[in-house]
């Protein structure tokens, strides 16, 4: 492999003649440019230059080897010994982030998922925050996911011996310390340099299952290698790419690492990086393809993204081991209903068809409190997935933040079970939740501003609040 001088590289700095240094190697990205899922702009920024630092914010180290043909590698970049290395200039945003990180609360001062979200908002770069926090269109579905839990009220029983609370369970046959798993979310390194490895560590330490994303920013080897103990379960999320062979490669290489496999029909295209990625997803995927999947693996297949009872029944009939009711965190289709709203009608349809015992039902989206988990279980879920909260917790505090987050969920669920009079998961019954308003979507009349502004608001004596 030849050594290429920096001077030579610098000359290939145009759209139709584009070389970039990554991890000391020089790549000709001219042909790849239009196919880059993250768009052309970010690549062109490093035309004729070293793009390693930005590359590492998004990608696993081995991604070039896996996706591009070997001949795009021109050679090794000359090492810069001139002492003329460009000084790192701190941008305005770098400064904002640095200062915000200096003021970050201590980890033991974080008491709930919203604390983590608020801190993440302060300390993340704007692009990372926008990517993680954003939802489709008006972000109605994204917010509705948690919102819907507020329409479910509890019916606590008293005078029950709750001195011992047991929330251990199994998911697809594997043990878990609680009925919660870490769901697959793309591009974890945008939150923290450890990326999905941090999630693997936290999951292992707290005894919960992690679902590895197709679009991980760490390599599968790295994520699997980060496991805390040998029998730590990991699931694998599978997007179906247009060129299906690549997924087969991936699966054949990695499924032995975790016992189970997730197949996810998620189609992520709401804008920015996400839109670009959707270009590589197979839009022809349909029920008939499931037969083919079942023919090539003995792993249990779980279908993620189910949103109607009709499709839940189909999934059971097509032999899925489970489904995840999900609207993909409200990132794809606005006004897709929240999973918790759909759960009862799916359970009811499966029961009517006598299919309720052949599949495990999971939900993700909007799980922000231990009581949310309780409500999902009462309505028939085997467990729940959490996505964004893990990214937010990781943003500020890495694996330890995620551990703390999982501890908070566990504590809240334990307290909820104790106060509900349910010492074990088996004690949690549908009649313990009041869902009469679950399907009611209340949209207030447009505000009567004239009447409101004419009215002089009452203020309690001595009040210091702002209205």
Q: For residues 258-277, which are near a second copy according to CB under 8 A?
A: 265, 267, 269, 271
Which positions from 420 to 439 touch a second copy by CB under 8 A, shown as an x/- string?
x-------------x-xx-x
d(CA 103, CA 119): 10
CB-nearer residue toward a second copy: 72 or 333:
333
Shortest separation between residue 183's beta carbon and a second copy, angstroms: 17
Given 283, 348, 352, 424, the residue binding a second copy (CB under 8 A): 283
d(CA 376, CA 372): 6
d(CA 212, CA 193): 16
What's the N-to-C CA distance of the chain in angstroms? 69
The verdict on 461 binding a second copy (CB under 8 A) reads yes
Distances, alpha carbon 68 to alpha carbons 32, 33, 202, 219, in Å: 8, 11, 32, 15
Shortest separation between residue 41's beta carbon and a second copy, angstroms: 13
Shortest separation between residue 46's beta carbon and a second copy, angstroms: 23
d(CA 330, CA 366): 9
- Which 50-109 positions form the footprint of a second copy (CB under 8 A)? 103-105, 109
The verdict on 412 binding a second copy (CB under 8 A) reads yes
Given 9, 20, 43, 110, the residue binding a second copy (CB under 8 A): 110
Within a 10 A sphere around the Cβ of 137, how many other Cβ atoms?
14
- Which 367-396 positions form the footprint of a second copy (CB under 8 A)? 368-369, 371
CB-nearer residue toward a second copy: 2 or 436:
436
φ, ψ dihedrals at 383, nearest 5°: -175, 175
Residue with tokens 């310390």: 177
The verdict on 443 binding a second copy (CB under 8 A) reads yes
The verdict on 418 binding a second copy (CB under 8 A) reads yes
DSSP element (H, E) containing 204: helix 196-206
d(CA 38, CA 30): 15
Given 30, 112, 170, 297, the residue binding a second copy (CB under 8 A): 112
Shortest separation between residue 90's beta carbon and a second copy, angstroms: 21
- Which 327-366 positions form the footprint of a second copy (CB under 8 A)? 327, 332-337
Which positions from 301 to 330 touch a second copy by CB under 8 A, shown as an x/- string?
--x-xxxx-xx--x------------x---
Shortest separation between residue 431's beta carbon and a second copy, angstroms: 9
Q: Is 414 within 8 Å of 165 (Cβ atoms)?
A: yes
d(CA 316, CA 353): 10
CB-nearer residue toward a second copy: 70 or 446:
446
- Which 127-166 positions form the footprint of a second copy (CB under 8 A)? 129, 133, 137-140, 142-144, 146-148, 150-163
Describe the crossing of helices 113-123 and 388-420 by its angle, rounded to 10 degrees. 170
Contacts for 118-123: CB closer than 8 Å, 24+ residues apart:
119/392, 119/395, 119/396, 120/191, 120/391, 120/392, 120/393, 120/395, 120/396, 123/97, 123/395, 123/396
């Amino acid at each position: 492999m030849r050594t290429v001088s920096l001077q030579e590289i610098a000359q290939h700095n145009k759209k139709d003649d584009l070389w970039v240094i990554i991890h000391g190697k020089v790549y000709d990205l001219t042909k790849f440019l239009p196919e880059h899922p993250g768009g052309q702009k970010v690549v062109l920024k490093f035309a004729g230059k070293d793009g390693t630092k930005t590359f590492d914010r998004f990608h696993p180290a081995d991604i070039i080897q896996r996706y591009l043909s070997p001949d795009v590698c021109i050679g090794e970049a000359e090492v810069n010994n001139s002492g003329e290395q460009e000084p790192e200039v701190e941008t305005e945003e770098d400064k904002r982030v640095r200062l915000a990180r200096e003021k970050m609360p201590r980890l033991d001062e974080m008491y709930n998922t919203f604390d983590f979200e608020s801190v993440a908002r302060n300390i993340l770069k704007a692009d990372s925050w926008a990517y993680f926090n954003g939802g489709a269109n008006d972000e109605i579905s994204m917010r509705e996911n948690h919102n819907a839990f507020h329409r479910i009220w509890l019916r606590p029983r008293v005078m029950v011996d709750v001195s011992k609370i047991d929330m251990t369970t199994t998911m697809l046959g594997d043990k878990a310390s609680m009925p919660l798993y870490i769901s697959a979310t793309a591009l974890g390194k945008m939150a923290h340099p450890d990326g999905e490895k941090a999630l693997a560590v936290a999951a292992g330490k707290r005894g919960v299952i992690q679902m590895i994303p197709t679009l991980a920013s760490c390599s599968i080897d790295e994520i699997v290698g980060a496991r805390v103990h040998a029998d730590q379960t990991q699931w694998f999320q599978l997007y179906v790419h247009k060129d299906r062979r690549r997924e087969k490669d991936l699966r054949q290489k990695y499924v032995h690492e975790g016992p189970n496999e997730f197949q996810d029909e998620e189609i992520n295209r709401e804008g920015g990086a996400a839109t670009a990625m959707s270009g590589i997803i197979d839009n022809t995927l349909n029920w008939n393809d499931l037969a083919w999947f079942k023919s090539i693996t003995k792993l249990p297949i779980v279908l993620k993204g189910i949103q109607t009872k009709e499709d839940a029944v189909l999934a059971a009939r097509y032999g899925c081991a489970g489904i995840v009711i999900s609207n993909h965190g409200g990132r794809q289709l606005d006004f897709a209903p929240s999973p918790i709203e759909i759960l009862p009608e799916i359970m009811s349809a499966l029961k009517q068809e006598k299919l309720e015992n052949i599949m495990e039902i999971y939900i993700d989206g909007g799980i922000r409190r231990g009581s949310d988990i309780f409500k999902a279980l009462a309505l028939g879920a085997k467990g729940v997935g959490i996505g964004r909260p893990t990214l937010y917790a990781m943003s500020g505090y890495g694996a330890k933040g995620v551990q703390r987050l999982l501890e908070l969920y566990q504590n809240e669920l334990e307290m909820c079970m104790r106060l509900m009079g349910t010492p074990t998961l088996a004690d949690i019954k549908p009649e313990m939740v009041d869902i009469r308003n679950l399907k009611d979507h209340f949209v207030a009349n447009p505000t009567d501003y004239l009447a409101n502004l004419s009215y002089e608001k009452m203020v309690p004596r001595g009040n210091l609040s702002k209205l």
